[in-house]
Every structure is written in C-alpha cells, then in structure tokens.
Structure 1
Amino acid sequence: MMGRSYFVTGTDTGVGKTLVASALIHLHAARGLRTGGMKPVASGALRQDGQWYNEDVQALQAVANVALPAALVNPYLFRRPTAPHIAAAEERRTIDLDHLARCHAQLQAACEMLIVEGAGGFMVPLDRHHNSDELVARLGLPVVLVVGIRLGCINHALLTCQAVEARGLTLVGWVANLIDALEDQADAMIESLAQRLQAPLLGRLPWSPGMTAAQAAARLTWPDPA
C-alpha cells in the first residue's frame, strides 16, 4: 500500500520551507509513522569529503525515521544556488519529470508518510517548458503553504493559493513563519491571511534563528491525525 504524500511549497525562496518540511517529518515520525522526506530538485551544493551535498536535503534526512536512498530523496542536485532551470542548463543537464515521478513512487512505497519539499515557490521553472506546479499536479499531492511573514506576503500567498487551485490541487493548510524580526504588522498580516485563505492555519513560527525541527513541530497542528 502506498503511503500518503504532501508537498511543501512557499510564497518565495528563503521563507522556511525546509524548517516546516523537517518539522512535519518529525511530527509524523513521533506518531510512529514510517516517515521520510524528498527534495526532488535542490540548487546550491557544498563539497565535503569529496562528495557534493545540499543542506536542505541533509535536514530532511536527519529527522526521517526510515533510511532512504539518497538518489531517490534528491534526484537532482545542482551546484549553483539559483533557479533550477538555470542551474540545470549551466551543467548541461535536464530535469526529467518521469524520473522524478518514479523516484517519488518508490519513496511513497517505502513510507507511510512522505513530505516533499519544493524548490523556491510553487511555479519555479524546471526547464524551458515545465514548472514545479506541473510536477505537483502530476503526482496529485495536497499542498502545505509556508508564508514568510513580511511586506508583500499577503499578495504572494493569495496568488500561490490561486495557482494551487488552478491545478486542481488541495491546499490542506498554511504555516505563518515570522522571518522579519522588524515587522511590526505581523499579527495584522496573519489575520488578513486567515480571513482570505480557505485552508486552516497549521501553526505560527516566531522569529527564532536556529529553531530546530522538533521545536517547530511543537508549534504545528495537523488536520489529518494519522
């Protein structure tokens, strides 16, 4: 039996997708589910002991309670920290959606719960003709939206929600992540989003550099209690 799978996207890059994805893995693993993570495409690699790695991918693997092949967890790793289609073109590589779908199916078969973290925003390009939202639609994944609370986030969140709905997908919930320590209208922004987004607020993460997945998980709720 295939496990359940959810896609974590954000209103932009750098809004805390990896923290939330890791927290969701921790949350479900703590409930006794075989839980893993996937980062289909990652841009930005570091080299250590002769191997290239990505910090986001390592964060997902660190909280998973099932050992999964690295080649499935992160099928495409690019060295430059830029948009995936640009990084792929620079390395003369092509992101194959069929390959990503096969990797996802294998991971889903090995897990009871699989959390898939996107790269950048919901519609980040993967090549000249395909965006990330096409992959999510192909896999049919419900979406969790991470909203980085800062000026402009309301517009970005509403547009992302429209894009999710346009693909026939379900927004199962959203997380408010306070990424700007100087933002004095955070409460008003979150209230406005709660009034406009037709999905539950799963949690609010305070400005806290260095927050762990466990600490973030303690602040999240989940609409499907496994």
Structure 2
Amino acid sequence: MKIALLGYGKMGKVIERIALERGHEIVLKKDQSNSYDKLSDADVAIDFSVPSAAVDNISASFNAGVPVISGTTGWLEHYDEMIALCNDKKSGFISSSNFSLGVNIFFGLNEYLAKIMTPFNSYKVTMEEIHHTQKLDAPSGTAISLAKGVIENSKYANWTMDQANDDEIHIEAKRIGDVPGTHTVTYDSIVDNIEIKHTAHNREGFALGAVIAAEWLAGKTGVYSMKDVLNLK
C-alpha cells in the first residue's frame, strides 16, 4: 500500500517506521515547507499535522481521490464540511481523536460505565487529561470524545473547563513534559469514588492504530470510525 504522510513531526516519523515494517511504501512526507506532489500516487493519506493545516490536507486528499485517516484534533468546526466533500468526491474518511487500540477499547468501557452510573445521582463525573507541553489544543480531542461518550449515555448535557454545573462534566487539562497521553474518568461521591484510566507509554499505539485503520480503509468509500475498524459496534 502506498501512503502519503501529511504531517511529518514526531507522530509522522513513528507512523512511517511502523508502515515500512508492515511492508508499505511512503510516497509523500509533507511538512509545512513542501507541496502535495505525489499525493495522487497514494492509496491512502494519513494526516497527523496541526489544526491549522488539517482542513487543507484533508481537502487536498479528497480532491486527489485519496481516502484519509486523520488523527489531528482541534479543527472539528469544519468536520461537516469535510464529510460533505468526502461524499461528493466518493472518497473514504476516518477521523478519530485517538487511534490507539487501547483507547478505543477505553471509549467503549467509558460509555458502558456512564450507562450503569446514570441512576446513581450521588456520583459526580469529572475528567483529567495530561499531555506533553507541545500539544496545541486543550482539552485533548480524546478527552472531548470521552465527555461526549458520557453525555450520550447519561443525564449530562455538556462539558466545561470552568466551574461545572450539575449537568456539566468538568475537564482538567494539564501539560507536563513529554507525556504521550493520560486520561482519567472519575465518578466521585461522599463515600467513595470509581475511576477508570488509560495511560499511553509512548506514541507507538497511536501510530499502529492509524496504520491499521489505513489498511482497513484502503479501497473503501464512505465515512467510518474506529469502531468499524475494530468491529466494536
């Protein structure tokens, strides 16, 4: 499979290594200084860039007839626009706040826990996420996905980084050193608390999941999620 890497920072380099180890070919390694030459040669594009570049990267790929795996966060105000372009160009698209296989299992666990905690009003849910100091968006896309998972399966209506009302989930975002990503969901009451936590040890899991998603998406049209890739629905 021929892969275009859109974004060639730390994540892009790990994705490159894993893709090569799995027998794939990299036909484009795009950073801020080069063009989309050879993008049309790719079977799939993997976008791990920055929020300001993501929409251009995704649009260029769809216009070139190349399906996209996007792990960039912080640009989702344009998500519906990209979905429309994907459908118009009859391309394929998977956008995820986190491609780690473990995190996607964690998403499912989080949704299940939210369902069974709903009747127990004495518990208040909060979230904490910790990432490296170079991460540009806060809270993380993964934390937002976790919050949405709770909201869709409980009485909560929204999330906030400020003081939370009764129907809001408070998210605390911390930026420390070179932490790849730690996410904690806590249900706290006067008598005890229940906590689930995912800790990434390195970027390998994110990169491997993205390559597996690219392998799955190649040759398909339509909009999918990691639940489709991992058959978690």
TM-score normalised by the shorter chain: which range applies? 0.3 to 0.5
TM-score by length of 1: 0.37
Higher relative contact order (CA 8 A, sep 6+): 1
Larger Rg: 2
